[in-house]
Amino acid sequence: MADASSERETPAKPRLLSDPKFRALVFQIIASITVAAFIFFIVRNTLHNMESRGISTGFGFLDRVSGFGILQSLIEYNETSTYGRTFVVGLLNTILVSVLGVFFATIIGFIMGVLRLSSNWLISKLAATYIEIFRNIPLLLQIFFWYYAIGFNLPGPRQAMSVGESLFLSNRGLYLPAPVFESGFMATGLAIIGSIVAVIFLARWARKRFEATGQLFHTVYASLAILILVPALVFFASGSPMHLDYPSLQGFNFQGGVVVIPELFALVLALSIYTAAFIAETVRSGIQAVSHGQTEAASALGLRPSWTLRLVVIPQAMRVIIPPLTSQYLNLTKNSSLAAAIGYPDLVAVFAGTTLNQTGQAVEIIAITMSVYLVLSLVISIFMNWYNAKMALRER
């Protein structure tokens, strides 16, 4: 007792080492130095060993000419481009499948999740069957399935199925007419941007007015009208400065137009169907997490069922849905690296595959590739965290 009280009387001068804050700081510094030293050691050793084994190192290869072709490129690329450019081509192809995959997976997933809760026995069982099948078959097999079963059973280019001689489907992919913009298209482009901005302002105004007066405004119809009519008017007024480039069969293949290659199609299909099965479950659990009392209270207030869903259930469910949804988006992006299995030229196939093999610079290329996936994942996480914070419960 006496000891305790005497200690309490001299708190003014605690010994530095027994100060928890100071100790924590010291330990953190030691830990950081150890990690840094470890990394330094590894990097130095790797470089030393590679040199002593005659393996060339460094990033100089990025400026060398690649000398190989890539099936699909969103930017200008040919054999005389550099290895650095193969990286960009691969990266953009990865981003393309990821964005498309996330888009379709979200739509299918939300629909399936809601249907799963349908009171109609058949519909809910169908949704459940979908979820159980696609969630439980390994993704790689699904990719092969769509690629081989569908892509390879289409007719050859000379027997292609066509719609009005402008759309062609064959085992070379889906060929569509491509828009070719002429010099005067600038005005229409500006009109499109302008009308988007206008719609945003309109939505804000309508919301403010609704909150202030309770009067509803049909934002959706008004927005659609603005988005379509304004650019269309400008387009025709400026003399239709755009035409379509139709694909046509020349020699072995179609020339002209744009093509959705079967590899891209199969990959996006497999990724979205697979991921959607998980998203559906996430959506279902999110909706079920909203207590039934909320729905009852809403209908007691006289809200229509569709309003109840939109204004009461979904906003609350979203809070439960978003964090696991983020993981699904991350998974989809990383799973897109299975592309190499069917020859879709993504980052792993092009850069960590061909480029790595032609240059032999495994350590550098794998390091770059891993960093890219890390950055992509972090960007998705940051965005979803921001969205999550926006949707989070705000106490008023």
Compute and round to an integer the Cα radius of gyration of the chain: 29
- 14 vs 69 by CB, closer to other proteins: 69
Q: Is 357 in the site for other proteins (CB under 8 A)?
A: yes
Q: Is 124 in the site for other proteins (CB under 8 A)?
A: no
* Strand pairing category for 167-170 and 161-163: antiparallel
Q: Is 58 in the site for other proteins (CB under 8 A)?
A: no
Q: Which stretch binds other proteins (CB under 8 A): 26-34, 45-53, 239-247, 272-280?
A: 45-53
Q: Is 101 in the site for other proteins (CB under 8 A)?
A: no
Q: Is 368 in the site for other proteins (CB under 8 A)?
A: no
| Binding-residue total with other proteins (CB under 8 A) | 53
User: Among 241, 233, 227, which Cα is nearest to 185's?
Assistant: 241
Each residue 256-285 as x (binds other proteins by CB under 8 A) or -, in order, gives: ------xx----------------------
| Binders in 154-173 for other proteins, by CB under 8 A | 156, 171-172
Quote the CA–CA distance of 384 and 140 in Å, as a whole number.
27
With beta carbons less than 8 A apart as the criterion, state whether 320 and 393 touch: no
Q: Is 149 in the site for other proteins (CB under 8 A)?
A: no
Quote the CA–CA distance of 317 and 292 in Å, as a whole number.
12
DSSP state of 163: E
Amino acid at 53: R
Q: Is 63 in the site for other proteins (CB under 8 A)?
A: no
DSSP state of 303: -
Q: Name the minimum Å distance from CB 11 to other proteins.
A: 50
Q: Name the minimum Å distance from CB 95 to other proteins.
A: 18
| Binders in 280-339 for other proteins, by CB under 8 A | 337-338
Identify the residue among 255, 291, 294, 371 touching other proteins (CB under 8 A).
255
Identify the residue among 8, 53, 292, 394 touching other proteins (CB under 8 A).
53
Identify the residue among 348, 368, 372, 380 touching other proteins (CB under 8 A).
348
Name all contacts of 230-237 with Cβ < 8 Å and 24+ positions apart.
Answer: 230/191, 230/194, 230/195, 230/198, 231/188, 231/191, 231/192, 231/195, 233/191, 234/187, 234/188, 234/190, 234/191, 235/188, 235/191
Q: Is 120 in the site for other proteins (CB under 8 A)?
A: no
User: Can you spell out the DSSP letters for 211-271?
Assistant: HHH-----HHHHHHHHHHHHHHHHHHHTT--EEEE--EEETTEEESSEEE-HHHHHHHHHH
Identify the residue among 2, 5, 11, 54 touching other proteins (CB under 8 A).
54
Quote the CA–CA distance of 308 and 296 in Å, as a whole number.
9
- 281 vs 364 by CB, closer to other proteins: 364
3-class SS at 168?
Answer: strand
Quote the CA–CA distance of 28 and 5 in Å, as a whole number.
33
Q: Is 50 in the site for other proteins (CB under 8 A)?
A: yes
- 149 vs 375 by CB, closer to other proteins: 149
Residues 6+ apart with CB under 8 A from 102: 329, 332, 333
Residues that bind other proteins (CB under 8 A): 42, 45-46, 48-50, 52-56, 67-71, 79-80, 140, 148, 151-153, 156, 171-172, 250-253, 255, 262-263, 337-338, 340-343, 345, 348-349, 352-354, 356-360, 362-363, 366
